[in-house]
């Protein structure tokens, strides 16, 4: 148990659906991240939030929309996804933002887009 | 460009044998280096990290890693592998205030 929870753990959706992924951290951290993990590829950093402000957006398609209402919660809103968006989506948090801090990961949401 | 390479996609070792997982990085300055492990159905867990000082770093679960600047490497080792070590292992480099680059991972299978 890392202190970072994600729901749902599995999600199957059609290309026209709208869904949201939720992440919650119980560690008192100030930074939260969304990563995409596809088979045989390095983890792809999607978004970084620091103190509820987005500080990084790595050219992610607009069909992915993050939201960070407070420092403990992070959402990823999904709409009109493509089959190639099927992947494991990991949430992480760290004390402060950045690649110099240990990140604590949730178990991920396995997303399948039909 | 900054990058992390894990040359071995899949490694199989016998239980009780020694293990070394390779990691090479490309980065201009002194990097912050990490090894994470991911068990099936789980997120990533930090095994160890190197920031500065002693180049041999001890981590959890009996793992260690050695930073070799001349070889741009940060290989992970364990003297005797247990069946529970079967997992995927990721090397990562912290390169600035908002980015951490991960390797593609090495999947470890442990034979009885």
DSSP per residue, chain B? --EEE---SEEEEETTS-EEE--EEE-SSPPEEEEEEE-TT--EEEEEEE-SS-SEEE-GGG-EEEEEGGGTEEEEEESS--GGG-EEEEEEEEEETTEEEE---EEEEEE-
pLDDT for the residue A22: 98
Q: Which residues of chain A neighbour B42 with C-beta distances below 8 Å?
A: 107-108
The reply to whether residue A56 touches residue B98, judged by beta carbons under 8 angstroms, is yes
The reply to whether residue A42 touches residue B102, judged by beta carbons under 8 angstroms, is yes
pLDDT for the residue B100: 83
CA atoms within 13 A on the CB side of A47: 22
Q: Is the pLDDT of residue B61 over 70?
A: yes
Tell me what the mean pLDDT of segment A9-20 comes to. 92
pLDDT for the residue B92: 93
- Sign of the dihedral defined by the CA atoms of residues A91, A95, A98, A102, in that order: negative
Tell me if A13 sits within 8 A of A78, measured CB to CB: yes
State the residue for tokens 């050219």.
A59
pLDDT tens across B74-109, in order?
999 999 999 999 999 999 998 766 678 899 999 999
pLDDT tens across A79-112, in order?
999 999 999 999 999 998 877 788 999 999 999 9
The reply to whether residue B46 touches residue A102, judged by beta carbons under 8 angstroms, is yes
Tell me what the mean pLDDT of segment B66-74 comes to. 94
- Mean residue pLDDT of chain B comes to 92
pLDDT for the residue A97: 82
The reply to whether residue A103 touches residue B49, judged by beta carbons under 8 angstroms, is no
Distance CA A25, CA A72 (A): 5
pLDDT for the residue B1: 65
Residue among A19, A5, A9 at smallest CA distance from A114: A19
How far away is chain A from the Cα of B94, in angstroms, using its nearest Cα?
A: 4
Nearest residue on chain A to B90, judged by CA atoms?
A: A42
Chain A residues with a Cβ under 8 Å from any Cβ in chain B = 2, 4, 6, 40-43, 45, 48, 50, 55-56, 90, 92, 97-108
Top residue of B26, B97, B103 to mutate, by most chain A CBs within 10 Å, is B97
Distance CA A108, CA A89 (A): 5
pLDDT tens across A26-42, in order?
999 999 999 999 987 88
């Amino acid at each position: 148990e890392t202190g970072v929870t994600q729901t749902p753990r599995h999600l199957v959706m059609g290309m026209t659906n709208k869904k949201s992924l939720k992440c919650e951290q119980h560690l008192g951290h100030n930074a939260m991240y969304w990563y995409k993990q596809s088979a045989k590829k390095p983890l792809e950093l999607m978004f970084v939030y620091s103190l509820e402000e987005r500080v990084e957006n790595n050219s992610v398609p607009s069909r992915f929309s993050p939201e960070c209402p407070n420092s403990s919660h992070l959402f990823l809103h999904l709409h009109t996804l493509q089959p190639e968006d099927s992947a494991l989506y990991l949430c992480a948090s760290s004390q402060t933002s950045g690649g110099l801090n240990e990140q604590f990961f949730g178990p991920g949401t396995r997303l399948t887009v039909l | 460009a900054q990058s992390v390479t894990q040359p071995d996609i899949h490694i199989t070792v016998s239980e009780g044998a020694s293990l070394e997982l390779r990691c090479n990085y490309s980065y201009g300055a002194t990097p912050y280096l990490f090894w994470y492990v991911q068990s099936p159905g789980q997120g990533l867990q930090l095994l160890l990290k190197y920031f500065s000082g002693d180049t041999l770093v001890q981590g959890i679960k009996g793992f260690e890693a050695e930073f070799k600047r001349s070889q741009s490497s940060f290989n992970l080792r364990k003297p005797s592998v247990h069946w529970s070590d079967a997992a995927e292992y990721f090397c990562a480099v912290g390169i600035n205030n908002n980015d951490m680059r991960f390797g593609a991972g090495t999947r470890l299978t442990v034979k009885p």
